[in-house]
Amino acid sequence: MASAAVSAVAETSEPAASTGLARVLQAVTGRLVIIVPYLWLLFFFLAPFVIVFKISLSTTAIAMPPYTPAFSLDEGFAGLWSQLQELNFDNYLWLTDDPLYLNAYLSSVWIAGVSTLLALLVGYPIAYGMARAPVSLRPTLLMLVILPFWTSFLIRVYAWIGILKPEGLLNQLLLGLGVIDTPLVILNTHTAIFIGIVYSYLPFMILPLYSSLEKMDYSLIEAALDLGCRPITAFWKITFPLSLPGVIAGCMLVFIPAVGEFVIPDLLGGSQTLMIGKTLWNEFFANRDWPVSSAVAVILLLLLIVPIMIFQFAQARAQEQGR
């Protein structure tokens, strides 16, 4: 009887032990899945940000690299603490004294905002048409949207120079059709920058919009039309609100890189265009003032990241309250 009881306990303990081990492995696996993106952010976002922030607190020097580090571990942690107490933010104060940087920030935000709005106006009908197209045709349409990425970004921007310059293809076409008498001056203007940004970042607007519109239940539109709602009213009351997550995602994907854009303003906007990306380039490579340019980059990053974090926090709070 005793041996039977021991064997029964052993048989029941083995499944319990295996179940406990499986739970431990499942918990560890779940933690690893969460840790991987955090490690990615740590190495490719937080670490570079800390390095740039450290350079922004340094002072300019005629050396290689062209700055004197604000603090180091050469004297140990005791020396590091004393160095941290003597830190100054003169480079950030310098940005407030020179109106060039403020004007560059404001100009960049304005150009990026207008370009984002234009990309939304162009991309929304395209995404809506793709979502309402036959299912067999949608992969082909998606491929056509992604196809420009197969060509170098720099080559595509250079192609617009050949299109927009006074003797370019656009003016030759309009002159040949008799639409204009003299060539249009488009290159080296804000119009050329808008065209370049909208063309380059349009897929980033279309793809999130298409993802939202494709999942929408179009029977809601049919019900609204059956109840006497006009198509335009049904669009603003049903379609657009349901596609709002895609609109927000697309606008962020276009606005954030457009603010710091350098290639398009430099090639299509000319030397007179004032954007923060060109200002950073000049400070780094022309003036070789790495501390000031790092301070400009830190402020630009904070201006972009902080509103996004506040928006995501508000969205999470709204979802929790909705539950």
Give pLDDT, residue 78: 56
Segment 117-133 shows an average pLDDT of 94
Q: Is the pLDDT of residue 314 over 60?
A: yes
- Selection from 73, 109, 67, 74 nearest residue 90 by Cα: 67
Handedness of CA 248, 116, 263, 48 (dihedral sign): negative
In whole angstroms, give the CA distance from residue 309 to residue 98: 29
Residue pLDDT, tens place only, 28-54: 676 777 788 778 878 887 888 888 888
First to last CA, the chain: 56
Instruction: Show the tokens assigned to 34.
Output: 């969460």
Q: Which residue has better confidence, 270 or 248?
A: 248
Residue pLDDT, tens place only, 213-236: 998 888 888 888 888 889 899 899
| Sequence letter at residue 195 | I
In whole angstroms, give the CA distance from residue 287 to residue 59: 14
| Maximum distance among all Cα pairs of the chain, rounded to whole angstroms | 110
In whole angstroms, give the CA distance from residue 298 to residue 308: 16
Helix (H, G, I), strand (E, B) or coil at 100: helix
Cα dist from 39 to 32, 43, 277, 304, whole Å: 10, 6, 28, 22
Contacts of 136 (CB under 8 A, 6+ apart): none
Q: Is the pLDDT of residue 82 over 70?
A: no
Give pLDDT, residue 144: 92
Give pLDDT, residue 75: 59
Give pLDDT, residue 113: 93
Residue whose token pair is 């400070």: 283
Q: Is the pLDDT of residue 205 over 90?
A: yes
H/E stretch holding 276 reads: helix 276-281
Domains observed in the chain? 19-85 (no CATH), 90-322 (1.10.3720.10)
What percent of the chain lies above the pLDDT cut of 90?
29
Q: Which residue has better confidence, 10 or 204?
A: 204
Q: Is the pLDDT of residue 312 over 50?
A: yes
Give pLDDT, residue 124: 96
In whole angstroms, give the CA distance from residue 104 to residue 106: 6
Residue pLDDT, tens place only, 285-300: 888 888 888 899 899 8
| Residue 67 DSSP symbol | E
Segment 233-240 shows an average pLDDT of 90
In whole angstroms, give the CA distance from residue 67 to residue 165: 41
Give pLDDT, residue 95: 85
